[in-house]
Homo-oligomer: A and B are copies of this chain.
């Protein structure tokens, strides 16, 4: 599976959250980072190039700061130029059909404000309807968004969790499935070069983490089997 991350941010270098995400970007030929403002400083989109990029990937992610409940202007310009009739919709416009489409949103206000009665008054699900409609019109499958609220207030621990979540979002099939996330974690733990771990203790911890994940999975599988039998 190949993932294209289209980032739109007018001042990427000055955003601590975007820098954090960009620096944790996995080095893989299956993941492409594409920063629109850097690629097109004059704002003139190369439509054919963008359409070829879309065709070459299976998962399309829009990553942007959620200013005024929408994307920065260049991403909207990109949509208006690239997602044209006969390519993205309409007669023979089937080139995005069946791909996955998702949002990585960096949000300045706290999560609890995005509900009726909260300061913002609307949920993220409500405010992202235009993107859900893009997915519908182009025949793409809309993923649960990755929402990053108030990055500057995150603890180091929360940032580490975000990093893992982000890498999973970019690389694994069905990033919202617990099983996929477990498999990804085991793979990453096994890939650690034990020479690099600074003590026998660390190697031991990694091994134990893998064992624990595998044990958890067996228990979950047994529970699932039990539930299936009960429902027969």
Find chain B residues with CB under 8 A from A71 CB: 76
Partner of A68, one of B43, B68, B73, B83: B83
Q: Are B70 and A70 in contact (CB under 8 A)?
A: yes
Q: Mark A61-105, 1 if CB is under 8 A from B, else 0.
A: 000000111111110110110010000000000000000000000
Find out whether the CB atom of B133 lies under 8 angstroms from the CB atom of A129: no
- Assess whether A171 is interfacial by the CB under 8 Å rule: no
Instruction: Tell me, yes or no, whether A122 is within 8 Å of chain B by CB.
Output: yes
Q: Given the complex, which residues of B lie within 8 Å of A77, measured CB to CB?
A: 73
B-contact 0/1 string along A123-138, CB 8 Å cutoff:
0001101101110110
Interface digits, A41-65 against B, CB 8 Å rule (1 contact, 0 not)? 0010000000000000000000000
On A, residues with C-beta under 8 Å from B are: 43, 67-74, 76-77, 79-80, 83, 120-122, 126-127, 129-130, 132-134, 136-137
Beyond A122-B129, A133-B120, whether A79 also contacts B68 by CB under 8 A is yes
**Other-chain residue from B73, B80, B130, B132 in contact with A130 (beta carbon distance below 8 A):** B130
Task: Evaluate contact between B129 and A127: CB separation under 8 angstroms.
Answer: yes
Is B134 a contact of A120 with CB atoms below 8 Å?
no
Which of B68, B126, B134 is the one whose CB lies under 8 Å from A76? B68
How many Å lie between the Cα of A201 and that of B120 in the bound state? Answer: 57
Q: Looking across the interface, which residue of chain B has its beta carbon closest to that of A76?
A: B73
**Other than the known A69-B133, A76-B76, A126-B126, what 13 A-B pairs have Cβ atoms closer than 8 Å?**
A43-B43, A68-B76, A68-B80, A68-B83, A69-B130, A69-B134, A70-B130, A73-B77, A73-B80, A120-B133, A121-B133, A127-B129, A130-B130
Asked if A73 and B70 make an inter-chain contact with CB atoms under 8 angstroms apart, the answer reads no
Interface pairs (5), CB distance under 8 Å: A67-B80, A68-B83, A70-B76, A122-B133, A122-B136
